[in-house]
Structure 1
């Protein structure tokens, strides 16, 4: 069983991953209750689908009402150079109010994890060829965030120190 990094009460934790991503080219015999279907499956049978993965090219806003009823939405990063997944996450959290699990999948690297969290991701499937125990350490690299974000909308200059007037 593979592992993912999940934010549990805000703390990054390595947990077993009981979800299976169904890629278009994968055999269909592994379908089960914890299958993450491609976004295209939303148009065929929305009742059987509990989780989908979205590529940056998918026009997910057409199916937003159905997406909001799912247990999990994964955003696929086919390349670490493609930042559109950050925008997808921000839209899902801010414009559409998504409160379920939002997972970063695909080419997810250690250096991206803090930025992914700030855009609203709360689960991270680190690239298979990378060490997840090394990747989780990146969350402790940043102790102060100056700008507001999805995970903490208040910018630093708006925060007052305790005891100051």
Structure 2
């Protein structure tokens, strides 16, 4: 029996825009910048505003698609070593988010962990979250942090600062060609 949260029913959203946001954050981290880059913030606000309501929903769906794709890659990598992705990724994700109280308020950590667990069990994070109502403005930073932390986890495992971005870019290129 198919679940209503099966990824085949989920909108992919604007994966490219979501990846652009995550990639720019990763580059800032790897360049050793702490805090938000003021120049980047000046560019990001007009970019988000230019999306309009439909575009923002597409960006959210795109971020959820990134979460799903990152967790799927991590699940396969951990399974290759006889390990469970939920056991190894979720505790680290939760601990890291707990250390980021300005970006991720504690009350949003269970939702973000739930999205990762949903993805780890083959469910769409977007459809799983939708069961509980519309996204709130307060969930935007935690969602971005979740995708960012998953991408950074992949990059750390592979020893390549661009691996997660390349992984998604290659998947998008393959989808466009197929």
TM-score class, shorter: 0.3 to 0.5
Higher relative contact order (CA 8 A, sep 6+): 2
Give the TM-score taking structure 2 as reference length: 0.31
Higher share in helix: 2
Give the TM-score taking structure 1 as reference length: 0.32
Higher share in strand: 1
Instruction: Please identify the structure whose Cα radius of gyration is greater.
Output: 1
